[in-house]
A and B are shown apart, each in its own frame.
Chain A
């Protein structure tokens, strides 16, 4: 790839980089606000768990975009190793950061919910929580490694290698956690065959939370991607001026 042609340092960033927070982002935020208004005010309380059950709308919904982002990150790693396209690397980085945020949300809300429902802050036999914890470490390691490499092509290459290996690791963690604790996990209420245990209103809120969080995640990834582009432009201008 040829390096961008440098111009006068006082020229503003190229108009091709769109704003980091645009209409899509604010729409997503609006969606989140709407969701919580509905969840808190207009959705009935669960008979057994009380208001604490409403954490469900954050906790479970956080996993889907996190896993999705990790999947895209792994895919981008393969794309980078194959095509050496830096856009794949940038997208992978954006997905990793967003995945880390959503994993953190999932883990903390999971801990809060566990404390309220089961009386313990952390439950090792909750398989999804354990898997998410290890994924958190993997993604954090990915980001720390990126921070420790200054040279862009090396950073992209190493990230891609780590991304592919991490993707291979996930099924092994899943299987070993499963083998290690053959305990019963409360079945996901909405996905049981037959009538789900939630009332229809709760179900609507629940399913919407997935949609809303996924949209929010996509907005974050978009914004983060553009931020990375902006940073590169600034860096190029600095180096050209030096």
Chain B
């Protein structure tokens, strides 16, 4: 009887989270409804004759992504709190890092599924013609979501143990999302407006660097957030 290694254990945790989410569906549905609604509302907040929909689209996408991501992240450690289910994870032989990775993978799938709905909605509502760039935009989306998940999963684990959980998660996470959003929005608007790919390169480099640094840093930091 040998316990599962870090990656296998992470996958077990992720699958369990996704099974639970799939059964209840509340978090996903609320995030989707929020995202699509926000996309629609934002359309009406600008005067079409002054700023075209195509110009607004990247900014709107990223704002909406951030806030619907926060909705999803809130619940990732919330489910463990209910009956102290996290104790069962902590007392088992799986490594602490695999708990974090498993949760992060679950959140990643959640957010990617959310994007799979939000991006088409954006294209439809804002009449974007980005068929050729869709792959590039999806790639940028994925890179940004990776960073959001790395930070958000860790802060969700911390916030859930404090008095102001719902306030703290956005308050702590948003400053960390800022570089991600700046780079992703800049890269997206360059790609959508047809500028050469090289103009987006520095932003993409920064995105990748951010992801690498913070996935590692948050994985290492996670065990310190558990009670000792």
Binding site for B on A (CB under 8 A): 81, 134, 137-138, 140-141, 144-145, 148-150, 153-154, 157-158, 160-162, 164-165, 168-169, 172-173, 175-177, 179-180
Contact = CB atoms under 8 A, between A and B. Distances in A.
A172 B175 CA distance: 11
Given A141-B171, A148-B168, A179-B206, A154 B221 contact: no
Contacts of A169: 175-176, 179
Contact of A157 (B176, B178, B209, B225): B225
Interface in B191-228: 202-203, 206, 209-210, 213-214, 217-218, 221, 224-225, 227-228
Contact of B221 (A138, A144, A161): A161
B225 A158 contact: yes
A157 B224 contact: yes
Contacts of A165: 151, 154, 176, 214, 217-218, 221
A173 to B, nearest CB: 6
A22 B221 CA distance: 39
A176 B178 contact: yes
A137 B206 contact: no
Contacts of A141: 168, 171-172, 175
A164 B176 CA distance: 13
A157 B226 CA distance: 9
B214 A168 contact: yes
- Size category of the binding interface on chain B: 20 to 34
Nearest to B207: A176
A101 B151 CA distance: 27
Contact of A148 (B163, B186, B218): B163
B214 A180 contact: no
Nearest to A175: B206
B158 interface: yes
Contacts of A179: 182-183, 186, 202-203, 206
A81 B221 CA distance: 10
B178 A134 contact: yes
B164 interface: yes
B161 interface: yes
B174 interface: yes
Nearest 10 pairs of A and B residues by beta carbon: A176-B179, A148-B162, A172-B179, A148-B164, A176-B182, A148-B163, A137-B175, A138-B175, A141-B172, A161-B221
B178 A173 contact: yes
Contacts of B176: 165, 169
Given A161-B158, A169-B176, A144 B164 contact: yes
Contacts of A134: 175, 178
